[in-house]
Structure 1
Amino acid sequence: MMKRNSNIMTTYLLKKINGSWETALDVGCGAGNSGAALEDRGITVYGIEAFPEAAQKAETKLSHVLCGDIESAVLPYNAGQFDCILFGDVLEHLVNPWSVLKKLRPYLKKDGTVLACVPNVGHISVVLELLAGKWTYRDAGLMDQGHLRFFTREELISLFKAGGYEMKSIEAERSL
């Protein structure tokens, strides 16, 4: 099985950015590399990062960084502040992604967009392992040891609907 490459995910999400957006919230912004690419396009990026060392690096690249756990943090943002909310391989690491999506909904503009990359546990590589009686966690990829939640395509759609979002499109990234 191929390792999931965060650079591939970053590139994939960046291709989906609308040039007219002014503000974005990057949840789980890491060191701020994806957000920096958006800042270079003139988009003001706010980041949320749970790991202090990564948040410090992101502070040098983004307009604002909140160091904290998205699930428990009190958010300083205004209603309707963001054109886009990004979740680059984040939702599967949360204890309660349903709650997080509901929590963030008021901060998204009425015509705003959520861009998310989420591994599909229905991927053939996982199914083949299950058929062989295996469920093996790895350092990275679809079976990353840090994944607390697993989604199929249909469960991902249900997750967003439960959060109050309308799904406009869902795509599979074939290069993973």
Structure 2
Amino acid sequence: MYIDTFTSQGKIFDQVSHGSRVLEIGCGSGRLSNLLSIWKQCKVYCVDKDPASSFLAKGKCIEIINTDIEKSELPYENGSFDHIILVNVLEHMIEPKQVLMNLKRYLSEDGSIIYSVPNIVNWYSRMMIFLGKFEYTDGTVFDRNHLRFFNLESGRNLAIDAGYRIVWLDVTPSVYLYKDKLNFLWYKLAKIWKNLFADEFLILAKKQN
């Protein structure tokens, strides 16, 4: 099973410790959880509020809970996980900062929260708005289910305001091609001019001491 290092899932996969205890919020089909279980021997638990996603993820993690984390508490002890992962989930939340604050107690002493959020101010979004276009779509930064929008500063402040310290920050390129050398060039541009060329911001943060 292949995982692309230029995608948010690929980059987050690289940040997860071998054999660690992982909670993935908004697991979708369970692909990342499955990769972590098989390739890194992680003990992965999943949460998703979509029944269809919960069905698809069955068998790819130890347990999957079908619930909305903004409305209910999770049945886990304090300090249960070394990593809590949210891949493109927080933009769908009513109060994403509160979600991060609530999840903090489930982290082990040196545990980390790892999340990605889409970038609303990259060149494509700017061009569309400049041309007077703002059409809701499925699966893009203009997704019809997005409740929150982020640039680099607000994506970073989400963790800081929730009481975390940022340990790692990365991006994915806003142009994705099927040649690694070209993807690498776009990735380098996104690393230098994050707001302009990044598609997503990825952050790993730990609890403040």
Structure 1 residue 57, shift from structure 2 partner: 2.6
Structure 1 residue 36, shift from structure 2 partner: 0.9
Structure 1 gaps of 5+ residues are: none
Q: Distance in 2 between matches of 1:117 and 1:74?
A: 22
**4+ runs deviating over 6 angstroms:** none
Q: Distance in 1 between matches of 2:139 and 2:60?
A: 26
> Corresponding residue for 1:113?
112
> Corresponding residue for 1:172?
171
How high is the TM-score relative to the length of structure 1?
A: 0.89
Structure 1 residue 59, shift from structure 2 partner: 2.5
SS at match of 1:139: coil
Structure 2 gaps of 5+ residues are: 177-198, 200-209
Q: Whose radius of gyration is greater, 1 or 2?
A: 2
Q: Distance in 2 between matches of 1:133 and 1:95?
A: 27
Equivalent residues of 2:7, 2:172 under 8 A apart: no
Structure 1 residue 88, shift from structure 2 partner: 0.8
> Corresponding residue for 1:72?
71
Supply the AA of the counterpart residue of 2:20: E
Residue 25 of structure 1 is aligned with which of 23, 26, 36? 23
Of 122-131 and 91-100, deviating more is 122-131
Supply the AA of the counterpart residue of 2:93: L
Q: Distance in 2 between matches of 1:39 and 1:142?
A: 29
- Cα deviation digits, residues 133-170 of structure 1 (max 9, x gap): 32222222121111111011100111111211111122
- Cα deviation digits, residues 32-66 of structure 1 (max 9, x gap): 11111111121101100101122123232111111
**Superposition pairs for residues 11-160 of structure 1, below 5 Å?**
11-19=10-18, 21-40=19-38, 41-160=40-159
> Corresponding residue for 2:7?
8
How high is the TM-score relative to the length of structure 2?
A: 0.76
Q: Number of matched residues?
A: 170
Q: Distance in 2 between matches of 1:16 and 1:59?
A: 24
Q: Greater strand share, 1 or 2?
A: 2
Structure 1 residue 127, shift from structure 2 partner: 1.5
Q: Distance in 1 between matches of 2:56 and 2:133?
A: 38
Structure 1 vs Structure 2 CA RMSD: 1.8
SS at match of 2:15: coil
